[in-house]
Chain A
Amino acid sequence: MGDPARAEQPVRRLARIYVRLRVLQLRSALEYRGDFWLSILGAVLQQLTGVVFAVVLFTSVPDVLGWGPWEVALLFGLVMLPAGLVELLSDGPWSLRTTVNSGSFDRVLLRPLPPALQVAAEHFTVHGLGNALLGAVLVVAGLTGADAWRWWTVPFLVLTVVAGTVLVTAVTFLANMVVFWEPSATSTFPVFVVLTRDFAKFPLDLYPPALQVVLSSLPPFAFTSCFPALLLLDRGGSLRWLGLATPLVAALVALLAAVAWRAALRRYEGAGH
């Protein structure tokens, strides 16, 4: 883990290995053609329940606190797009509970690759494709409907989505790392942590101040959607400039996850066989 030789591995080589692992898993997922599409359908339908709620809401009322259907669509998209990308790129932490408890995490530690990379690449969750696509459609539809495209929109979106993906990945790792300290923990705790991102599908000023603080800090999902959306839609007064902080926040959470990951690896003691 703290092995200097391993730390010096060229990033390019690791990136290549990671991509190959991804492609391998995509191919194995495609072997089961029916299952592949069923996964995507399930994920899209699941996300559509939230969309149905929003659509029905906006057929009954024109706006909520000045946010119309297109603005809310943008928020939904900004939550779903990074979530989908995380499922596609690094959904492995979800199996930590099983591998740590069964002791098969030993194997991860023995291979000559950084454990975090192996864990990140462990799964290929096909339904992430559905979420990411639906999220992208909602972002584009929202920005078009709200007539909010400007010359800097695309680069800012790319930056925000990449940072949001890093942020969600780090939070997913952090939430699932609980297993190293609390082996009996079920996956319900991480699911709960990650589900709080649903709050960020609606404007932040809907919630009481205490909840707003929680959403911008523990975990700071508001930075993936609410704050960047303020900037994109040119609203929200000076609060909008927090939208620029998304990469910084993502870096901080990633740093925290890295520190916790090292502590977790030191703490891991196998399953005793």
Chain B
Amino acid sequence: MRERGTVSRSRPARDVGRTRPRRGVLAIAGAALQQAVAYRATTALGIALTFVWVIIQYYLWRSVYAARPVVGGFDFETMRTYVVLAYGLNALVGWRIASEMMSSIRTGAVTLDVLRPIDYRTAQLARAAGWGVVEGALSLLVSIVVGLLLLRISPPAGPVELVLFAVSVVLAFVTKALLVFLGSLLMFWTTNGLGVMWSLQALIQVLSGGVVPLSLLPSAVGAVVEVLPFRGVVWTPVGIYLGLGGLGRGVALLGLQALWVCVLWFAAGRAWRRAFAAVEVQGG
């Protein structure tokens, strides 16, 4: 007994067998991060899942470019780079935040979340960040490394562009997380999570430039989509990486992206209060 006491006293700083709880937002992000690491197979397969489309698009564009050097202002190397980066950026925020929010709203567990002394919106973003660090960063990293080695994508346009790209990726993450948050609030009015989620996925995919570069869209549609918040998810960061339109334009686009993040942040807060008024817990 005495001996054990002295041993533990001699090493007071080390908590044995128990991790010290962190506070608030960090704790939530940490827990999500641990989940993502614990379910390694799910995380890895989730990354592989959407890679199917990268392969399809790669071969498709390859045969398209075999017949012509330029399509819509993009050469094959730029297009390859685009496809790979768009995939990586899309994986930055998975759909777990949506499915968790939806099921908690459906079961009524959301009322418990609201009782916690932390802003619901912030908590969801923190959770997304925890998963994002593992899933998103990993898939972005994998796609860039695989892209550079196997698919020979182009490196960033320059060192300044690389820094701007990094900032833009963070903003892209917040943009998509907020969009998913806003969409998931629809669950307060319907019980059909899958329908909402699929519609939302499709909308974000197309309008963000995740399916095709926005410059290939018909000009009337393109002009509208160019100013919407969705472009911040894929089109803006990839454009900066590729150095489309030069540095000045890159900085301006970063400004637009940041502006939309602010707007979405406040919109998310308001919409959340609005939505929660409609809460209807099923059963007891």
Collect the chain B residues with CB atoms within 8 Å of residue A40's CB. 195
Collect the chain A residues with CB atoms within 8 Å of residue B197's CB. 42
A208 to B203, CA, bound (A): 32
Q: Is B8 an interface residue (CB 8 A)?
A: no
Collect the chain B residues with CB atoms within 8 Å of residue A206's CB. 59-60, 63
Q: Is A59 an interface residue (CB 8 A)?
A: yes
CB distance from B259 to the nearest CB of A (A): 27
**Contact assessment for A198 and B45 in the assembled complex, using a CB-CB cutoff below 8 Å:** no
Collect the chain B residues with CB atoms within 8 Å of residue A34's CB. 190, 192
Q: Is A241 an interface residue (CB 8 A)?
A: no
CB distance from B235 to the nearest CB of A (A): 14
Q: Is B35 an interface residue (CB 8 A)?
A: no
A107 to B268, CA, bound (A): 44
**Contact assessment for B218 and A198 in the assembled complex, using a CB-CB cutoff below 8 Å:** no
Interface size on A, residues (CB 8 A): 39
**Contact assessment for A49 and B42 in the assembled complex, using a CB-CB cutoff below 8 Å:** no
Residue of B nearest to A199 (CB): B56
Collect the chain B residues with CB atoms within 8 Å of residue A41's CB. 195, 199
Chain A, 186-207, CB within 8 A of any chain B CB: 186, 188-189, 191-192, 195-196, 198-199, 201-202, 206-207
Chain A, 174-230, CB within 8 A of any chain B CB: 185-186, 188-189, 191-192, 195-196, 198-199, 201-202, 206-208, 211
Q: Digit string of A11-53 for contact with B (CB within 8 Å is 1, else 0)? A: 0000000000000000000001011001111110110110011
**Contact assessment for B45 and A52 in the assembled complex, using a CB-CB cutoff below 8 Å:** no
With beta carbons under 8 angstroms apart, the residue of B39, B68, B192 that contacts A32 is: B192
A196 to B192, CA, bound (A): 26
Collect the chain B residues with CB atoms within 8 Å of residue A188's CB. 41-42, 45-46, 49
A191 to B48, CA, bound (A): 11
CB distance from A130 to the nearest CB of B (A): 10
Q: Is B271 an interface residue (CB 8 A)?
A: no
Q: Digit string of B29-53 for contact with A (CB within 8 Å is 1, else 0)? A: 0000000000101100110110011
Q: Is B201 an interface residue (CB 8 A)?
A: yes
Q: Mostly helix, strand, loop or mixed at chain B's interface?
A: helix
Q: Digit string of A61-74 for contact with B (CB within 8 Å is 1, else 0)? A: 10011000000000
A39 to B205, CA, bound (A): 18
Q: Given that A49-B206, A64-B63 are contacting pairs, would A127 and B194 also be in contact in the complex, using a CB cutoff of 8 Å?
A: yes
**Contact assessment for A52 and B63 in the assembled complex, using a CB-CB cutoff below 8 Å:** no
A65 to B67, CA, bound (A): 9
CB distance from B242 to the nearest CB of A (A): 18
With beta carbons under 8 angstroms apart, the residue of B59, B64, B198, B212 that contacts A43 is: B198
Residue of A nearest to B44 (CB): A188
Q: Mostly helix, strand, loop or mixed at chain A's interface?
A: helix
Q: Given that A35-B190, A48-B202 are contacting pairs, would A127 and B212 also be in contact in the complex, using a CB cutoff of 8 Å?
A: no
**Contact assessment for B211 and A49 in the assembled complex, using a CB-CB cutoff below 8 Å:** yes
Chain B, 184-209, CB within 8 A of any chain A CB: 190-192, 194-199, 201-203, 205-206
CB distance from A47 to the nearest CB of B (A): 8
**Contact assessment for A186 and B203 in the assembled complex, using a CB-CB cutoff below 8 Å:** no
A49 to B52, CA, bound (A): 14
Q: Is A57 an interface residue (CB 8 A)?
A: yes
**Contact assessment for A38 and B192 in the assembled complex, using a CB-CB cutoff below 8 Å:** yes
With beta carbons under 8 angstroms apart, the residue of A42, A52, A64 that contacts B194 is: A42
Q: Is A259 an interface residue (CB 8 A)?
A: no
Collect the chain A residues with CB atoms within 8 Å of residue B41's CB. 185-186, 188
Q: Given that A32-B192, A41-B195 are contacting pairs, would A57 and B211 also be in contact in the complex, using a CB cutoff of 8 Å?
A: no
Interface residues of B (CB under 8 A from A): 39, 41-42, 45-46, 48-49, 52-53, 55-57, 59-60, 63-64, 67-68, 71-72, 190-192, 194-199, 201-203, 205-206, 211-212, 216-218
Interface residues of A (CB under 8 A from B): 32, 34-35, 38-43, 45-46, 48-49, 52-53, 56-57, 59-61, 64-65, 127, 185-186, 188-189, 191-192, 195-196, 198-199, 201-202, 206-208, 211
Known: A38-B190, A61-B64, A196-B52. 10 other contacts (CB 8 A): A48-B206, A53-B211, A56-B212, A57-B60, A60-B71, A64-B64, A186-B39, A186-B45, A192-B48, A198-B56
16 contacts across the A-B interface (CB closer than 8 A) = A35-B191, A38-B195, A40-B195, A42-B197, A42-B202, A43-B195, A52-B206, A52-B212, A56-B217, A61-B64, A127-B194, A186-B41, A188-B41, A189-B45, A199-B56, A207-B59
The 5 closest A-B pairs by CB, nearest first: A42-B198, A38-B195, A42-B195, A45-B202, A188-B45
